[in-house]
Amino acid sequence: MIIRMAWRLLWREARSGELTLIFMALLLAVTSTTAIALFSSRLELAMQHRSSELLGADVRLHSTTEPEPEWQQNAQTLGLNSARTLSFPSVALFGDEMSLAAIKAVDEHYPLRSVLRVTTVAGAEAQQMNHGPARGEAWVEPRLLALLGAKLGDQVEVGSLTLTLSGEIAEESDRGGNFYSLSPRLMMHWDDIAGSGLTGPGARLNYRLLITGEASAIERWQQSQPLAVNQRFESLDDGNQAVARNLNRARQYLGIAALLAVVLASVAVAISAQRYASRHFDISALMRTFGLQQNQVWGIYASQLLLLGLVATLAGLLLALGLQALLLQLLQGLVPDDLPAAPVTAWLLGMSSGLLTLLGFALPYLMPLSRVAPLRVLRRDLAPVPLAGWLITSLALAALTLLLWLFTGDALISVGTLLGGGLLLLLMLALLLLAIRALRHLLAGRALPLSLRFAWLHISRHSRQSAGQILAFSLTMMVMLVIAALRNDLLADWQANLPEKAPNVFAINIQPYQQQAFAASLADAGLQHEKLYPMVPGRLLRINDVSVQELQVADDPAINRDLALTADDQLPASNRVIAGDWALQQQAGQVSIEQRLAKRLGVGLGDRLTFSAGGVEFSAVVSSLREVDWGAMTPNFYMMFSPDVLAALPASYLTSFYVPTDKQALLTELIRAYPGITMLDMQAVIAQIQGVLQQVTLAIELILVFVLCAAVMVMLASLLAGLSERLREGAIVRTLGGSRGLLRRGQRLEFMLLGAVSALLALAGAELVTWALYRQVLDLPYAGPGWVWLWLPPFAALLLALPGLWLLRRTVNVSPLMVLRGLND
């Protein structure tokens, strides 16, 4: 009986529009959380399922020099399978066109575990391959074909090799994703490397020995000989996978954005539920006089709520499917194409968000409905005692914490985020409130135009509500602005701020014997270049004779990879000594260190650093700290030694130079003339970074649109909650002779004020954040405000005014006679 009654009542109320807002808010919460949950869990599952495919092996030995042959011999003895790969960045040429390419040379045993699908005939279906390209041939990603304007069968040049394009790579599961692999793949045969001239000292080489086999044998193999400093094992549970790390970060941001939407939707649900309850006191009292018991009334409302939640959840789950498909579309190319289906837990998480929101935010307001005294039918002032404020708050907080926990899977982070974020929000809210109250004080008794007075009346009278709305809108817009700035302006601004003719090509891997010839070639071509610096890849081993692995800095990224070491006694133009004495660089055994790295490592003047490079250990004393302008596009180094230190080590040289945009042909010529020298066109590199940035930020902004919608819902919910008051006000003003135009103007001004103030705060906040980012982090001159200051405030005003005015249309159109008849809206 109860359920049937609840269903009937729900249906009636739904038709009357009474529940629309709660429904929409729930829908929004469920949709955004489910979409993100589906998206993340599918990605995670793909990582787990396919990590051996992603790794291409059970374990890999990574090395920056060719691993000793013993490694492979040991594997063979132990009955393990092995394959060798070598990857490095280079340039591919086709006629006059050139493109950066992520080269990967594979031996005849590749692939082991990875899935390699290749199309060998244009237009045909891709086929799974159990071997790599033959000698003299190359398989490339379609992207490279497009960049070069080449097709299958054409011949491209890589280093001093000419390779025939014989396949298009559709899938390469162990592709990995780091900075250089953003460039399109070119796969070639291992044996072709020897004659390519691409692997001299200084080239950024990544050798991998792929191993598959029995776990115990692998374990024995791993212990068969010690690792050199430039070697490490990469295994299935290696969290250092670049793809995993980057995607994880994107997922976290998406998750936070989705939670913001849930929080705002919850507020809208709470406000709507409160209004719903207060409008149902009469009906509850009536039901009691009809003979229903307290728990029956309670049962009706609880089941009604549950039914509503279920319907909204089902609809939300469907919408979420679409939204996550859209997310995947936006992130195409960055995430694997064929993700496994989402696990049940992801759907459950999405479902629970709707029900938890209802439990935490609607239930507390509906509980008193069952306790309405039947006498209320005679005495309307008899309202039930609401739940204690602390109880409502703690229910809401509990629901939020639970949601956060479900989402992050980490209780500590959840509580921390909630407390930290909550405190920060409260602080901002308090500031806004103070501002509104101060303004109210200031404006009291001032002669303002009447419509403006009405607008201000509504904003200031519910100052807490207004402050909350302004905060929600301005924060969301601010985040969107900052993200948009990152996406559109950051790289462009950086480029614009480079001096004219700043170097735009880096040449690395210049062999000592090529130094003079290369410099001469640049001069002949009329290309200005920076000094040629020697470069030796080496690792920091000890600080003052204490191993870095034992120090707190063991996790620092500068510790676990090769640093580019150089030596010179002249201070580069883009460097400034901030401590110590550069003149000491003339003496033996000195090193000058970049100041930020020094700070991170806790290294100061006089400290003794020990390095390993090319199998040799050497030490130097810190004689100065340098501030480095990394953005200057000139060769820069963390560690600059006095010339004696690296003298005996095999070095390659690097420099940078400027090629005018209309003289790209010169660069092509140079690349042909010096196939062993890697020339990185920074324009192309920047374009690649920008492309990835575009995709990721667009995905996050898509979710932020949901946050903005949720903020609009909060506004609509509070407008609805104050609707009867506004109806009364409208009617009174009109009986006094005020026109509808007056009311409309007041409302328009109110929303425009709210929208414009939110937009201005968002803009100010975004400018501040961007400024800090530019000046403090990136050391770029700050570009200053843009056109957005002109269009955002009116846009935001419109965003609030359209739904707001629509919702309030009754207050203007309803007959003022209502005032005479006690109001019943």
Partner 1 sequence: MDASACALQINNLTHSVTTGSQQLTILNKLSIDIKHGDSVAVVGASGSGKSTLLGIMAGLDRATAGDVLLLGENLTTMSEDQRAAVRARGVSFVFQNFQLLPGLTALENVMLPLEIRARKDARQQAQTLLQQVGLQGRTDHYPAQLSGGEQQRVAIARAFAGQPKILFADEPTGNLDRATGAQIEDLLFQLNRDAGTTLVLVTHDERLADRCARRVRMQDGHLQEAS
Contacts with partner 1 by CB under 8 A lie at: 447, 450, 453, 457-458, 461, 725, 728-729, 732-742, 815-817, 819-822
Nearer to partner 1, 68 or 725 (CB): 725
- State the minimum distance, in angstroms, from the CB of residue 720 to partner 1: 18
> Are the C-beta atoms of residues 407 and 254 closer than 8 Å to each other?
no
Nearer to partner 1, 138 or 731 (CB): 731
Rounded Cα gap, residues 799 and 751, in angstroms? 9
The strand pair at 97-106 and 185-189 is best described as: parallel
- State the minimum distance, in angstroms, from the CB of residue 447 to partner 1: 8
- State the minimum distance, in angstroms, from the CB of residue 460 to partner 1: 9
- State the minimum distance, in angstroms, from the CB of residue 732 to partner 1: 5
- State the minimum distance, in angstroms, from the CB of residue 267 to partner 1: 23
Q: Which residue type sits at 656?
A: S
- State the minimum distance, in angstroms, from the CB of residue 437 to partner 1: 15
> Are the C-beta atoms of residues 261 and 29 closer than 8 Å to each other?
yes
- State the minimum distance, in angstroms, from the CB of residue 799 to partner 1: 25
- State the minimum distance, in angstroms, from the CB of residue 453 to partner 1: 8
- Contacting residues for 702 by C-beta, under 8 A, at least 6 apart: 323, 326, 327, 330
Other beta carbons within 10 Å of 739:
11
Nearer to partner 1, 453 or 748 (CB): 453
- Per-residue HEC secondary structure of 343-401 comes to CHHHHHHHHHHHHHHHHHHHHHHHHHHHHCCHHHHCCCCCCCCCCCHHHHHHHHHHHHH
> Are the C-beta atoms of residues 633 and 612 closer than 8 Å to each other?
no
Nearer to partner 1, 198 or 721 (CB): 721
Burial tier of 223 (Cβ tally within 10 Å: 0-12, 13-18, 19+): exposed
Backbone angles phi, psi at 715, to 5 degrees: -60, -45
The enclosing H or E element of 800 equals helix 788-807
Nearer to partner 1, 467 or 671 (CB): 467
Nearer to partner 1, 51 or 463 (CB): 463
Nearer to partner 1, 151 or 464 (CB): 464
Neighbour-count burial for 590-621, b at 16+ CB within 10 Å, e otherwise: bbbbbbebbeebebeeebebbbbbeeeebebb
- State the minimum distance, in angstroms, from the CB of residue 5 to partner 1: 24
Structure tokens at 722: 């104050």
Please, what's the largest Cα pairwise distance for the chain?
Answer: 104
Nearer to partner 1, 323 or 733 (CB): 733
Structure tokens at 404: 């956060």
- Per-residue HEC secondary structure of 232-253 comes to EEEECCCCCCHHHHHHHHHHHH
Neighbour-count burial for 428-454, b at 16+ CB within 10 Å, e otherwise: beeebbeebeeeeeeeeeeeeeebeeb
- State the minimum distance, in angstroms, from the CB of residue 733 to partner 1: 7
β-bridge partners, 172:
116
- State the minimum distance, in angstroms, from the CB of residue 743 to partner 1: 10
Nearer to partner 1, 184 or 746 (CB): 746
Distance of CA 3 to the CA centre of its chain: 45
Other beta carbons within 10 Å of 697:
22
- State the minimum distance, in angstroms, from the CB of residue 422 to partner 1: 30
Distance of CA 229 to the CA centre of its chain: 33
- State the minimum distance, in angstroms, from the CB of residue 747 to partner 1: 14
- Contacting residues for 475 by C-beta, under 8 A, at least 6 apart: 428, 762, 765
Nearer to partner 1, 117 or 728 (CB): 728
Structure tokens at 617: 């250990």
β-bridge partners, 161:
158
Nearer to partner 1, 523 or 820 (CB): 820
Nearer to partner 1, 449 or 602 (CB): 449
- State the minimum distance, in angstroms, from the CB of residue 15 to partner 1: 17
Nearer to partner 1, 149 or 449 (CB): 449
Nearer to partner 1, 217 or 439 (CB): 439
> Are the C-beta atoms of residues 299 and 16 closer than 8 Å to each other?
no
- State the minimum distance, in angstroms, from the CB of residue 464 to partner 1: 14
Rounded Cα gap, residues 694 and 486, in angstroms? 9
Nearer to partner 1, 526 or 821 (CB): 821
β-bridge partners, 591:
622, 641
> Are the C-beta atoms of residues 678 and 203 closer than 8 Å to each other?
yes
Q: Which residue type sits at 687?
A: A
